[in-house]
Structure 1
């Protein structure tokens, strides 16, 4: 049972927060996530003694508010404990359970990116210095002991104790380090690691779902896998004659691509002769030709009929293969709309006999895709689902039950119109006894309990849920087999566990025959996607984001994966601010350029429009090797970005449109090469050649109010 309950109350209209810590009766090993410069917090009638361990000197320190006890501690040769660092744990002996109120300007450190654990060679008595949860693997090869009703251990050797699965703020730890070292908690917690076994991987996912603040408790019915039909023929009855000579055109535009050679999805594709376009309203894909359109013939040459309720999300056409990604309407009473999308690959080499080669069902939600030389790269999200039941527990104390009986007795003879946990009665003699009891009822937190028909207090044990059913990992059904997309050695997860339990999976399909190739996954939600010929970059805005009453800091995480050959994880990095779209990123010369905006135009701290240049190193990190800040005028934000070779183009706006040209020849020292002030703003920029940019946006008046469409060259 976990004895510590932290309540972090963020009050948006005041400049401080309060954290309350419930300290249990008896001995307890714990820590506090903030600096204590003195020990006044523990000058409490119920505190007998506190012990901590000075790892640098490998000696004990003691504190007691009773001067007689303190004298005995120092006379015995122990040092006096006079302060506590955020990462310093301690043993405390209390006569009764009591609540300590910590008044602080924030429960988050002033510098949230500089939260450190100091470890010395030998044994260390520590706790996590900020409000988070990490897996025990955070400490790598070190031996770690944790006590909560019983001892638990994290160790490479086999010991007859339960293993530590997770470590939370306020939990005290014994950690044995082989060297003096300082660990950056936030930097280390965000690192990705794989797993030694399927059991360890699944246990990690279970813990993530349990720890997430808003876990999804869904009911999992039968996640049926649809077996695809093979070689379905689509006859041409009722369509225009496909035997007409079809000419190839050379001056037709295709899907707008950010990077040459990296195909992006569309709902209209052509191969120079035939045009394939989606008709969502009538649930079909129509096929016509440039020849027919030129001749004024608009009746489709051929059609592919979709299922009722099937909605096409993306489509590709390469090497006589039409790849269609869609969501089919499926609804189960218990399950609701399942996490599932579909990939159908058609052989369109002969327009007269279009055949369905493969139909694949993939668990998860489709997010994005790319195609390079016939290899389809799919990005999907999956949300692990667990159905819990919570056992009921009866507390050992009868104090709340006694208070409730006394209050009910008074209420039977006195008109009392208030709840047990809230009573706003006049301060008159007939109500004073009841009000005193009601105050005790609140102070003892009796409102946390339910009461049965016999007046016995009970509550749900949310710390120890019982798993009724679970669906933790996504699967793919392709042809006649089912594939597990998550594997321990290719599933990357952070040590930080108190975040959304989304799983992002990258899968590759050979569209020539529809065969599944491989997958790689990581735990984290992603929102923006960019691909070069060799790398895929996925951006998450969920971790880490820090809020502070005096400052607001926003960061995004960038994950890089190699897609040139076998899938592999390259590394991750961080940039301040938020990106506008995929065009905010571009890879050139092995470096990734990113344009971001921090802050908001309406905030008191203003905005910062910046460029960051990241490059992977040997430690699975995307290291910032160059940056440029201060683009735009005061409180302006980025509205358009485009990178072309060694140049970058950025448009910021609030009232007028500063158009910046960036010189990126030296990735370690990007500079502004030129600035153009024009009214309105651009929302999209398209390269015409190396010296001309076409911009599409809005015209605006002197106050910044948009007035109409604007196209500029």
Structure 2
């Protein structure tokens, strides 16, 4: 399988926490000089505990009065779900892939910014950028370029490649514990490189029959001066408890979404397989929860010097910066942090926290939206029953949305919260403009005799609440959403699929009365949609049998949406037994408007010998196919292998970059380079 775009392995707890603030995170009340946030011990307050596990009567969020109040909330909700084997899902691991954003069309449905052409500073040539959802909102990725250098994190090393010589001119040494800090993604802003890394732990060994309930996960944020690519200089770094979900960069301001499982809660397990031993273990676990301090639940931050030595250790957020959602939503803490890249060291300038988990992250230039669904809790708890999670249960098909105002570069403020029925495909399901959210959801059937269906819901921020203003239901009955693209403030494209691909064009010009303007049914489906000019929409996905829905290979479609009431598929190209990473990661897509070319990474495993047994090596292909776009016409251009010549097997590249008149490709082994016009070239650089 291709390397995932966001490498985040952590055991999810069932909850997260968020509240707004405009100041730098203060030290919580009761903190001692060593950074402890533990309030003085006091008697157990049964009334406060009951309130902590009860849904809020009206508002979607509530602040905590102090650290004692926040501690009671964590403890009370943990006591509701703890059993003989403790919290933490019995040590199971869940790989979370941060949902990323991709290129957005302009309001007229014209060329998107997926591969924006930019004239770099210092004489850098025009080059493509990361394919992002919203113009002006950059997203972290495994590779970045400014036209003069290429920075990659493949194979666990941050390397800087000089474009002119196609050579690695330096490797960035990451502060932190040796051989335990591994880069996941990077961002590049002028001469400042931001490295987002994971730092792994061997775990904490049991002591006196107890163990730490949740595996330790660390995120390290490092800023590096790359004004001299041959001699990069580390500016500073911080170590955060927890794993990051996603990162966005707007005009030099970094927004980071973190999820932290309780870092210090101890639990135990039965010593025997008897009922009595289970009863004893459960009671011991309840005692251990009641004995916890606030430091055992909330995330912390360490400031490191350029050599990785710890300078300070403090709570990441003050207790007054953490809120609870309307319904208890678990034990994790979700943090939205702001970093100013103009400062010497990457310390958060503001933050907000919520006791809940978070998965899907969307951001415009003004708002950041984090979603939480039952599936996040279910993965952690290992139970399909909402009633088994929290008192009173929760709708199995509900997604909570928490909106943060990021219009001020120096502040992170909670703005509004609300819920929609159903679950989200990805960040592409969400869009925000001027305080209006559009959300595409699929509601799965609760019973075998019922059918799935999808909706597009419009909500508006109103005094801290997301209030529904209008909706379209009944999209793709018996099907699920496979792709969403918000083409303008007035138009959305939604693809659902089971056997065929209905493409819906939804008119959202009136937020109180959105409606389906047009619909087109074709075989197969699109998993990614991208505007490639005025009234033209390209879909990348899979061809499929019209009767069975069985996929048959990669498919690229061109849609004419000039008449929204009657969208047309004007052309389709197919490649049997093939797939592209674009189908699950938008950042693998490159559209270069200057030459009218789409670069499509592709892997073909071959069709075999006709008996379904052997795949012939000569049928295999791992490389890129160039597609020419001219009006409504797609032209299949050359296909070139991008791997080393001696390699007979391999996958297509993870990323493609256009720099000047050259195409660069990146896979897990290294890089290849081609002339964009002729596609002549080949492998140029190993990245072992």
TM range (shorter): 0.5 to 0.7
Gaps of at least 5 residues in structure 2 are 1-42, 91-120, 206-211, 305-310, 379-384, 388-393, 559-688
Gaps of at least 5 residues in structure 1 are 1-159, 172-184, 220-244, 392-446
Matched with 1:613 is 458
Corresponding residue SS for 1:164: helix
Post-superposition offset of 1:590: 2.0
> Does the aligned pair in 2 maintain the 1:555–1:576 contact within 8 Å?
yes
Q: Are residues 275 and 196 of structure 1, via their aligned partners in 2, closer, same or farther at CA, if it must alter by over 3 Å?
A: same
State whether structure 2 residue 166 is matched by structure 1 residue 287: no
Give the Cα–Cα distance (whole angstroms) in 2 for the partners of residues 320 and 358 of structure 1: 14
Of the three residues 548, 554, 568, the one matched with 1:709 is: 554
State whether structure 2 residue 259 is matched by structure 1 residue 386: no
Matched with 2:249 is 371
Q: Which TM-score applies when normalising by structure 1?
A: 0.57
Q: Are residues 577 and 255 of structure 1, via their aligned partners in 2, closer, same or farther at CA, if it must alter by over 3 Å?
A: same
> Does the aligned pair in 2 maintain the 1:639–1:683 contact within 8 Å?
yes
Give the Cα–Cα distance (whole angstroms) in 2 for the partners of residues 588 and 190 of structure 1: 23
Q: Are residues 623 and 309 of structure 1, via their aligned partners in 2, closer, same or farther at CA, if it must alter by over 3 Å?
A: same
Matched with 2:485 is 642
Q: How does 1:480-629 map to 2 (within 5 A)?
A: 480-494=311-325, 496-497=327-328, 499-512=329-342, 513-516=344-347, 517-542=349-374, 553-565=396-408, 566-600=411-445, 603-618=448-463, 620-629=464-473
> Does the aligned pair in 1 maintain the 2:237–2:346 contact within 8 Å?
no
Give the Cα–Cα distance (whole angstroms) in 1 for the partners of residues 224 and 281 of structure 2: 60
Q: How does 1:682-701 map to 2 (within 5 A)?
A: 682-701=526-545
Post-superposition offset of 1:274: 1.5
Post-superposition offset of 1:553: 4.7
Post-superposition offset of 1:451: 13
Q: How does 1:392-471 map to 2 (within 5 A)?
A: 460=283, 464-465=287-288, 467=291, 471=296
Give the Cα–Cα distance (whole angstroms) in 1 for the partners of residues 498 and 512 of structure 2: 29
Matched with 1:248 is 124
Once the two structures are superposed, residues 222-243 of structure 1 have per-residue CA deviations (whole angstroms, 9 ceiling, x without a partner) of xxxxxxxxxxxxxxxxxxxxxx
State whether structure 2 residue 233 is matched by structure 1 residue 355: yes
Give the Cα–Cα distance (whole angstroms) in 2 for the partners of residues 448 and 503 of structure 1: 33
Corresponding residue SS for 1:165: helix
Give the Cα–Cα distance (whole angstroms) in 2 for the partners of residues 216 and 692 of structure 1: 51
> Does the aligned pair in 2 maintain the 1:485–1:520 contact within 8 Å?
no
Give the Cα–Cα distance (whole angstroms) in 1 for the partners of residues 77 and 386 of structure 2: 22
Q: Are residues 502 and 572 of structure 1, via their aligned partners in 2, closer, same or farther at CA, if it must alter by over 3 Å?
A: same
Q: How does 1:140-155 map to 2 (within 5 A)?
A: none
Matched with 2:303 is 478
Once the two structures are superposed, residues 308-358 of structure 1 have per-residue CA deviations (whole angstroms, 9 ceiling, x without a partner) of 343222210002100000012332442695221101100111223310000
Q: Are residues 647 and 462 of structure 1, via their aligned partners in 2, closer, same or farther at CA, if it must alter by over 3 Å?
A: same
Q: How does 1:248-267 map to 2 (within 5 A)?
A: 248-250=124-126, 252-267=127-142
Matched with 2:167 is 299
> Does the aligned pair in 1 maintain the 2:501–2:524 contact within 8 Å?
yes
Corresponding residue SS for 1:166: helix
Post-superposition offset of 1:164: 1.9
Give the Cα–Cα distance (whole angstroms) in 1 for the partners of residues 291 and 162 of structure 2: 54
Report runs of 4+ in structure 1 exceeding 4 Å deviation: 160-163, 388-391, 447-452, 457-466, 543-548
Give the Cα–Cα distance (whole angstroms) in 1 for the partners of residues 373 and 125 of structure 2: 43
> Does the aligned pair in 2 maintain the 1:369–1:379 contact within 8 Å?
yes
Once the two structures are superposed, residues 45-79 of structure 1 have per-residue CA deviations (whole angstroms, 9 ceiling, x without a partner) of xxxxxxxxxxxxxxxxxxxxxxxxxxxxxxxxxxx
Q: Are residues 694 and 601 of structure 1, via their aligned partners in 2, closer, same or farther at CA, if it must alter by over 3 Å?
A: farther
Give the Cα–Cα distance (whole angstroms) in 2 for the partners of residues 305 and 487 of structure 1: 32
Q: Are residues 267 and 657 of structure 1, via their aligned partners in 2, closer, same or farther at CA, if it must alter by over 3 Å?
A: same
Of the three residues 516, 521, 535, the one matched with 1:677 is: 521
Q: How does 1:65-144 map to 2 (within 5 A)?
A: none
Q: Are residues 472 and 596 of structure 1, via their aligned partners in 2, closer, same or farther at CA, if it must alter by over 3 Å?
A: same
> Does the aligned pair in 1 maintain the 2:82–2:282 contact within 8 Å?
no
Give the Cα–Cα distance (whole angstroms) in 2 for the partners of residues 511 and 535 of structure 1: 19
> Does the aligned pair in 1 maintain the 2:246–2:361 contact within 8 Å?
yes
Q: Are residues 666 and 486 of structure 1, via their aligned partners in 2, closer, same or farther at CA, if it must alter by over 3 Å?
A: same
Give the Cα–Cα distance (whole angstroms) in 1 for the partners of residues 323 and 550 of structure 2: 46
Post-superposition offset of 1:249: 1.2
Name which one, 1 or 2, has greater alpha-carbon Rg.
1
